[in-house]
């Protein structure tokens, strides 16, 4: 859960933006603005009129959380992770190929 998403003070359920079902509403804490820690402000891609003084925003994306997510994605997409995933999904095929290789080696050693 996003640390700056607005939640119900009683049940802690994340509240959604009015008119935008499914989209969390983010709210700045007291004196600071959301834009100060937003990815879209940092990379200058936001064209919302409330920028850079947004106190409430539906598109807010925290820079630090975004970096952490990118790191996780990069790790998940690495060659090692891909290979492990492929091996896990194709264990039967690998076992069959290993058996065929053993049979081939036995046949070659007999002749
Ligand atoms: S998306 Fe919202 S919080 Fe982010 S820079 Fe734009 S107005 Fe600010």
Does one domain contain both 91 and 70?
Answer: no
Q: How far is the CA of 88 from the centre of ligand 1 (A)?
A: 41
Q: Answer yes or no: do 59 and 41 share one domain.
A: yes
Atom of ligand 1 nearest to the CA of 57: 2
Per-residue pLDDT of the chain (111 residues; tens, 9 = 90+): 566 677 777 888 777 766 666 778 888 888 899 999 999 999 999 998 899 999 989 889 999 998 898 888 888 778 888 888 899 999 999 999 999 999 999 999 987
Regarding whether 72 and 38 lie in a shared domain, the answer is yes
* 107 Cα: distance to centroid of ligand 1 (angstroms): 69
Relative to the CA of 38, which ligand 1 atom is closest? 4
- Residue of 44, 46, 52 best suited for mutating to test ligand 1, as the one with most atoms within 8 Å of CB: 46
Q: What pLDDT, on the 0 to 100 scale, is given for residue 9? A: 79
Cα 34 from Cα 37, distance rounded (Å): 6
Tokens coding 110: 């007999």
What are the CB-based long-range contacts (under 8 Å, 24+) for 51-59?
54/28, 55/27, 55/28, 56/25, 56/26, 56/27, 56/28, 57/25, 57/26, 58/17, 58/20, 58/23, 58/24, 58/25, 58/26
Residue 7 is predicted with a pLDDT of: 77
Same domain assignment for residues 73 and 102: no
94 and 70: one domain? no
60 and 89 fall within a common domain: no
Per the CB < 8 A criterion, the answer to whether 28 and 6 are in contact is: no
How many domains does the chain fold into?
A: 2
28 CB within 6 A, ligand 1: no
How much is the pLDDT for 25?
85
Domain that holds residue 36: 1-77
42/94 same-domain check: no
Residue 40, pLDDT score: 93
């Amino acid at each position: 859960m996003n640390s700056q998403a607005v939640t119900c003070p009683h049940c802690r359920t994340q509240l959604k933006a009015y008119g935008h079902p499914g989209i969390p509403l983010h709210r700045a804490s007291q004196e600071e603005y959301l834009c100060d820690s937003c990815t879209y402000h940092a990379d200058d891609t936001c064209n919302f009129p409330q920028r850079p003084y947004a106190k409430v925003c539906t598109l807010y994306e925290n820079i630090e959380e975004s970096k952490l997510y990118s790191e996780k994605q990069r790790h998940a997409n690495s060659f090692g992770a891909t290979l492990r995933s492929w091996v896990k999904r194709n264990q039967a095929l690998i076992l069959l190929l290993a058996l065929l290789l053993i049979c081939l080696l036995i046949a070659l050693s007999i002749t």
